[in-house]
Amino acid sequence: MTRVALIDDHESVRLGLEAGCAREGSASVVFSGSTVTEYLSWRRSRQVPPVDVVVLDLTLGDGATVTENVTRLVGDGSSVIIHSVADRPASVREALAAGAAGIVSKTSRIDDVLHAVSSVAQGEPLNNVEWASAVEGDREFADAQLSARERDVLRLYAAGLPLKVVAERLGVAYSTAKENITRVRTKYVEVGRPAPTKIDLLHRAVEDGLLDRHRTDPERTR
């Protein structure tokens, strides 16, 4: 069973989540409190391992920053889900950059929160609408950080050239070009911009300014 800690300075929110976990049965709330410091002190005093997932409010009443809270929890060994009204995109992006696994809105149903807890506990990505909204318009945060070689391979491959031809043009082995495309896809997934198909890679290349949409041949990318 997934071990969960609830950290929110609104007791009513914590009680609602506790009731939902008890009803659903797949998650056990082992801690409920209002600050990260309180949770870490509890864990040390009880000498228990870190919980699997911490459901954390974006803003707590103790003055700690979002980055401080998320960093302390992730560093302690737990995955973190931000549970917030998410009306401050900058703070949400800050939480994600600090290592939070994802976001669930406080307007979501309890079942949605529990599903998020289960997904994160199993190591699955939590790329939901709230996550997408948080990074929308923030190109620096959503930048896949491609290397120069990866950008070159993507530019040619997304333009429609077969991977073998891409490798020949760049003077690298076919296996190297293939590995580069695999890394490109992985990096786009990590920033919430998956590109499982060649058409998706074309879209990402255009979005990131690597290709001019009007100078590519859609038929060659099929």
Please give the full DSSP string across 143-183, using - where no structure is assigned: -----HHHHHHHHHHHTT--HHHHHHHHT--HHHHHHHHHH
Question: For 128, which DSSP code?
Answer: -
Q: How far out from the chain centre does Cα 14 lie?
A: 23
Residues 131 and 162 in one domain: no
Predicted pLDDT at 140: 55
Predicted pLDDT at 139: 53
Point out the domain boundary residue: 101, 121, 138. Answer: 138
Residues 86 and 157 in one domain: no
Predicted pLDDT at 222: 45
> Residue 27: which CATH number?
3.40.50.2300
Residues 215 and 152 in one domain: yes
Residues 49 and 131 in one domain: yes
Residues 154 and 129 in one domain: no
Residues 176 and 133 in one domain: no
Residues 189 and 107 in one domain: no
Residues 165 and 121 in one domain: no
Question: For 87, which DSSP code?
Answer: -
Predicted pLDDT at 100: 87
Residues 114 and 53 in one domain: yes
Predicted pLDDT at 162: 94
Residues 110 and 40 in one domain: yes
Domain total for the chain? 2
> Residue 180: which CATH number?
1.10.10.10
Point out the domain boundary residue: 94, 119, 138. Answer: 138
Residues 205 and 110 in one domain: no
Quick check: 150 and 188 in contact, CB under 8 A? no
Predicted pLDDT at 219: 39
Quick check: 202 and 221 in contact, CB under 8 A? yes
pLDDT tens across the length of the chain (222 residues): 999 999 999 999 999 999 999 998 889 999 999 999 999 999 999 999 999 999 999 889 898 998 999 999 999 999 999 998 755 666 777 787 788 888 888 888 899 999 999 999 988 767 655 555 555 555 555 677 889 999 999 999 998 899 999 999 999 999 999 999 999 998 888 777 778 888 889 888 887 888 865 444 433 444
Point out the domain boundary residue: 98, 117, 138. Answer: 138
Predicted pLDDT at 32: 97
Predicted pLDDT at 217: 45
Predicted pLDDT at 7: 97
Residues 111 and 165 in one domain: no
Boundaries of domain holding 96: 2-138
